Structure 1
Amino acid sequence: MIEAGSEISVATEGAGLDIAPSMGTEAVPDWPGALWVGAVDLESLAGYTHLRLQDSAGYHRARLLVRSGSSVRGFIDVDAPHGVLDRSVLETAVEALPPAVAAQTSSTPSITVIVCTRDRPALLRGSLAAILRLDYPNFDVIVVDNGASTAETRDMVRNEFNDPRLTLISEPRPGLSNARNAGLRHAQGDIVAFTDDDVVVDEFWLRGIAAGFEQAPNVACVTGLVPAGELRSAAQGYFDERVSWSKIVAPKVFTMEHPPADLPTFPFCVGAFGTGANFALDRRTALALGSFDPALGVGTRTGGGEDIDMFTRVLMEGHALVVQPSAIVWHRHRAELEDLIVQVSGYGKGLGSWLTKILLNPRTARLAIARGPQGALHFLRNARGHSVGQGPAPEETVPRDPRIAKALRAELFSVARGPLNYLLERRSGRAGKT
């Protein structure tokens, strides 16, 4: 099997270009709407008449992230019978995409990559391997072993990764914010880039991050594209359609001075700025803001929300936030319905908890209340639109799985639980003030 994260490898014979999947897997798809997922660089197609999709057994269609060098054009969904995509089909689909936006950077600031993990050494192994292959000259990596119940993660990192750029630290207090804060305290880079243990970073991820910090004055946060690395099940398809951050391909600069007209709830915009699997902060600014709120995040009663909380605080303090799609991190969505329900329940609790924090602060409460009705309508419209959806189904005849509605109900119920969970987490004494 071709190694995950290896985007393109040239075939040794014929006129075909071999393309590896974005995330390696041996599982055969069990959903009629399944899409093989990978990426193609238009600048690498000279002399080829077709593309051969590796590890594509069971797939009949493909989703390709189309790039021109390091710049992102967008996504196309195309037929790929027997794992072969004709170049003419590719080029026809690409015609509908917008032109590439240059993503070069003139500098390479020092970057510390922080990966927080808890008892998932098998997933962490692949994530670290991709990070250490990054095409960037000036970075180091901190792995935060958070609230570990065994020594497996520590032993795996120490025994399998002999790299001077890699540091392993332990944060015994559970909670993703505690883990992120521990990494932030130990970081030495001018920029700290956060990602998760269930992703594969693109080779040019940090170059995209660095480019984002050059897009505007006073940039304190850069987020990137987090596309689905696998779409083989109905649960994965539903989640991919449910979240907006998996499809953001247009660079954007957000500031309070120039609120975007298409986001009436700005700066309280879930998904519009990105997600916690792929973002970077100016280290000094992050520390000055008081780091991450320990009452939010996976591993606490609130289950999430620490990322959007940080994005909002960056903007409210007068800094710019840049969405830079060329900074790509591939994410493996939960394939099973039970796992999906757990995940979206955490998202729901995190959203409800974060909104509670917003309303408890007089400064943010005034702005949020003024924009609250619009936000509620947007959330409910989005939820209803996906109540029985199944993601990127290739045809109208793909059957809908009624079980997917359970995920929506779980998410909505969890949002309602968020306020109490946030107050309990605050009262527990584990959380400081931010």
Structure 2
Amino acid sequence: MAEVAVIVPTLRRPESLERALRSLFAQTGVADRVSAIVVVDNDPVGSAAATVEALRQSSPWVLTYVHAPRPGVATARNAGLAATDAPLIAFLDDDEAASSGWLAALLKAQADTGADAVFGPITGRAPDAVAWLKPWLEQFFGREGPERTGLIDHPFGCGNSLMVRSSALPGLAPFDAGADQAGGEDDALFAALAARGGRFGWAADAWVEEFAPAHRATLNYALARAFAYGQGPSQTAAAARDWPGVARWMAIGAAQTAVWGVVSAALTVIASPKRAEMYDRTARGIGKLFWMKGFEPRFYGARELARLEAAKV
């Protein structure tokens, strides 16, 4: 029974998109369960169409191309959902490559746990990073979890996930398009799911690799992301008008900033490679403090498109 669709949002990454799609074509143990692979092209000029067309004959399943010309991660995910009626939805980002048993492991974990959203581990790859930063960056772009499949008490990001559409992805556009430029659309989605009593699961064998391109394999980029991750809890509490919760997260952020900031300074003096991890922790603490509008870093949508345009010049 074809019950799952895989959605792959993309924005001007033809080589990595091809790598992601070929990893999906190589999936095992799911031959009769995939209804479609849906590629959502978030480029206004539709640049991914040629890549999808060139790979169409290689796909063992229906390969659907969707053009979502307004750049934005939430808009892209919503457009992918609109293109399929599959009851189970898997997400793979265009900078990821799935192991051959990835989708089968996600499906089995969902069936075993009954979770509304299931996540899997990620191995980070940063081939262009400078030597002292590379170990930390690969950990930063990776994802670790329990050694065994089962229910977990918190969600992860959408990349490398499987969701039950009826419970985890309600409505026609479950991702908030207001998050198109800064991201965090999955944080809001999962906070709402948790508030409804939804359950989260972990698929220990659902491995993917995530490849950080050169412009992301830098300290500045990663720390901006860490700051944004730190903003998440405070912003989620603020969106729910949970002001005591906001105050609690800000207090935690102040403590993290003070403690890890001092450790960061000490490790910087001795040029320890471990200082990158302390910078990360400090940035997350600062993010909890400065969660308000106007402080959000811009990684997606129009900002990313502008960066790609500038890179062509």
Task: Specify if TM > 0.5.
Answer: yes
The structural deviation recorded for 1:380 is 4.6
Match of 1:113 in 2: 6
The structural deviation recorded for 1:415 is 5.9
Match of 2:311 in 1: none
Q: Does 1:286 align with 2:176?
A: no
Give the distance between the partners of 1:192 and 1:129, measured in 2 at CA.
Answer: 19
SS of 1:152's equivalent?
coil
Residues 350 and 178 of structure 1, relative CA distance in 2, 3 Å threshold: farther
Q: Does 1:239 align with 2:134?
A: no
Residues 418 and 122 of structure 1, relative CA distance in 2, 3 Å threshold: farther
Give the distance between the partners of 1:250 and 1:294, measured in 2 at CA.
Answer: 34
Q: Does 1:198 align with 2:75?
A: no
CA contact (8 A) 1:305 1:351 kept: no
User: Please, which of 44, 47, 70 is the counterpart of residue 152 of structure 1?
Assistant: 47
The structural deviation recorded for 1:411 is 6.0
SS of 1:114's equivalent?
strand
Letter in 1 for 2:111: E
Match of 2:188 in 1: 309
Listed as ranges, the matches of 1:11-30 within 5 Å are: none
The structural deviation recorded for 1:130 is 0.5
Give the distance between the partners of 1:224 and 1:180, measured in 2 at CA.
Answer: 19
Match of 1:133 in 2: 26
Letter in 1 for 2:12: D
CA contact (8 A) 1:212 1:222 kept: yes
Give the distance between the partners of 1:177 and 1:361, measured in 2 at CA.
Answer: 20
CA contact (8 A) 1:356 1:422 kept: no
Match of 1:249 in 2: 147
Listed as ranges, the matches of 1:210-249 within 5 Å are: 210-217=107-114, 219-229=115-125, 233-242=131-140, 245-246=143-144, 248-249=146-147
CA contact (8 A) 1:134 1:203 kept: yes
The structural deviation recorded for 1:158 is 1.0
Residues 357 and 408 of structure 1, relative CA distance in 2, 3 Å threshold: closer
Give the distance between the partners of 1:413 and 1:170, measured in 2 at CA.
Answer: 37
Residues 230 and 243 of structure 1, relative CA distance in 2, 3 Å threshold: closer
Match of 2:83 in 1: 186
CA contact (8 A) 1:115 1:144 kept: yes
Residues 373 and 296 of structure 1, relative CA distance in 2, 3 Å threshold: same
The structural deviation recorded for 1:325 is 1.4
Listed as ranges, the matches of 1:28-427 within 5 Å are: 110-135=3-28, 136-137=30-31, 138-139=33-34, 140-146=36-42, 148-162=43-57, 163=59, 164-217=61-114, 219-229=115-125, 233-242=131-140, 245-246=143-144, 248-254=146-152, 273-288=155-170, 291-297=174-180, 300=181, 303-334=182-213, 339-349=218-228, 351-352=230-231, 355-362=234-241, 365=242, 368-369=245-246, 372=249, 375-376=252-253, 380=257, 387=264, 400=273, 418-421=291-294
Aligned-pair Cα RMSD in Å: 3.8
CA contact (8 A) 1:334 1:340 kept: no
Moved more, 378-387 or 152-161: 378-387
Give the distance between the partners of 2:119 and 2:165, measured in 1 at CA.
Answer: 15
Letter in 1 for 2:119: T
Residues 111 and 167 of structure 1, relative CA distance in 2, 3 Å threshold: same
SS of 1:420's equivalent?
coil
The structural deviation recorded for 1:374 is 7.5
Residues 380 and 243 of structure 1, relative CA distance in 2, 3 Å threshold: farther
Structure 1: gaps of 5 or more residues: 1-107, 255-259, 261-271, 391-397, 426-434
The structural deviation recorded for 1:209 is 0.9
CA contact (8 A) 2:124 2:140 kept: no
How many equivalent residue pairs? 287
Greater relative contact order (Cα < 8 A, sep 6+): 2
The structural deviation recorded for 1:186 is 1.5
More helix by share: 2
The structural deviation recorded for 1:387 is 4.2
Letter in 2 for 1:323: W
Residues 403 and 155 of structure 1, relative CA distance in 2, 3 Å threshold: same
Q: Which has the larger radius of gyration?
A: 1
The structural deviation recorded for 1:225 is 0.7
The structural deviation recorded for 1:169 is 0.1
The structural deviation recorded for 1:276 is 2.5
**What is the TM-score normalised by the length of structure 2?**
0.75
